[in-house]
Amino acid sequence: MKSGKQVAMLVALVSLGAGACSVVQPPAEPNADELATRVSGTLTAIPPAILLPTAIETSAPSPSEAPATTDAPPPPTETPAASATPLPSLTPTASQTPIATRTLPADDPRATLGNPTWRDDFVSGANWPLGEDSFTRAQVEDGELVLTGLTTTDGWRLTWPVVKDFYLEMTLETGTCAGSDHYGLMARVPDLHEANRGYLFGVSCDGRYSLRAWDGEAMTNLVRATASASIKTGSAQENRVGLLVTGNQLILYVNGVRLTELEDSRFSEEGSFGVFVGARQTSNFAIHVDEIAYWENP
């Protein structure tokens, strides 16, 4: 993938251990004491992890698996420790580094959107909560966010911008994986202090994509796991996962190819976003996120 980069990084606000406001202009700059107080208070108020159903298959789950549609997930057997979260730097600025020249599919949003509103290519981990809890481990190494699933339960980390209509995309490489090990984007999380609702657009190691809506109690499959030749399958493969949301319309992309679109009004207001991973079949399945970016009001 890549090693060191020279892009100035933004500020991380909070996280939910399974992980957030931003427009094109940076937020007002607090002084150091104010910022430390805000971060400390927010982290104290946020639950460190949320459990999600783990399967994205369309087949019926075995007795040991959690259903992917209507049943609420079981409660955790332990209270996970909060992730270690360093205090952010004080001056967030949106990166406007030009996108590398590449051949893009005709309907690829990156072909027409220009520079992103916000971009993180992980020169540091300042925009993300790093460390380990009962569900995931997050660290920045060689210009990548490495998110590792420590259980078969999906876990995520959220970053600080809050957006409503956007094209959100991440570029990543899979670690060793198999079958229904999966990963993706979580978006339109309405309340960062709860972080228990939102859309999850996922891709599996065996080449399927899905879209789910989690309301804090039940999971609804909006797009059931569907195979696509546009997804690169297996270990050590790079994929670009993109989600375009305008109003109630959601459009799913992989590697610049438009997969499907639908309308859903469950989460219609602005919200936070982040990355999730599910080590469904491979112990300590990890994804190496090279870049995450969004374009506001595409």
Percent above pLDDT 90 for the chain? 60
Sheet strands (E) in 85-218: 118-120, 131-132, 136-141, 144-149, 155-158, 166-174, 182-189, 198-204, 208-214
Instruction: Tell me which H or E stretch contains 250.
Output: strand 249-254
Give pTM, 2 decimals.
0.70
Q: Assess contact for 147 and 157: CB atoms under 8 A.
A: yes
Residue 106: which pLDDT band, with cuts at 50, 70 and 90?
A: confident
The residue-averaged pLDDT of 281-288 equals 98
The residue-averaged pLDDT of 214-219 equals 90
For 160-188, write each residue's pLDDT tens digit. 999 999 999 999 999 999 999 999 999 99
Structure tokens at 155: 């876990």
Q: What pLDDT score does 287 carry?
A: 98
For the sheet with 155-158, list strands across it. Answer: 155-158, 272-278, 182-189, 198-204, 208-214, 219-227
Q: Assess contact for 133 and 83: CB atoms under 8 A.
A: yes
Strands 208-214 and 144-149: unpaired
Question: Over the chain, what is the mean pLDDT?
Answer: 75
Alpha carbon separation from 261 to 8, 57, 100, 156, 186 (Å, rounded): 35, 19, 27, 24, 17
Q: Which CATH superfamily is domain 32-296 in?
A: Exo-inulinase; domain 1 (2.60.120.560)
Instruction: Give the other-Cβ count within 10 Å of 162's Cβ.
Output: 19
* Residue tagged 């804090």 (tokens): 216
Q: What pLDDT score does 102 carry?
A: 65
- Of 37 and 234, which is predicted with more confidence? 234
Strands 155-158 and 166-174: unpaired
pLDDT at 214 over 60: yes
pLDDT at 294 over 60: yes
Of the candidates 142, 35, 123, the one whose C-alpha atom is nearest the C-alpha of residue 85 is: 35
Domains of the chain by residue range: 32-296
* Residue tagged 């427009």 (tokens): 23
What's the farthest any 2 CA atoms get from each other in the chain? 53
Q: Assess contact for 224 and 233: CB atoms under 8 A.
A: no
Can you tell me the distance from the alpha carbon of 38 to that of 31, in angstroms, rounded to the nearest whole number? Answer: 11
Can you tell me the distance from the alpha carbon of 203 to that of 230, in angstroms, rounded to the nearest whole number? Answer: 11
Of the candidates 89, 76, 87, 88, the one whose C-alpha atom is nearest the C-alpha of residue 18 is: 76
How many degrees, rounded to 5, is the angle at CA 16 between CA 177 and CA 9? 85
DSSP three-state, residue 43:
helix
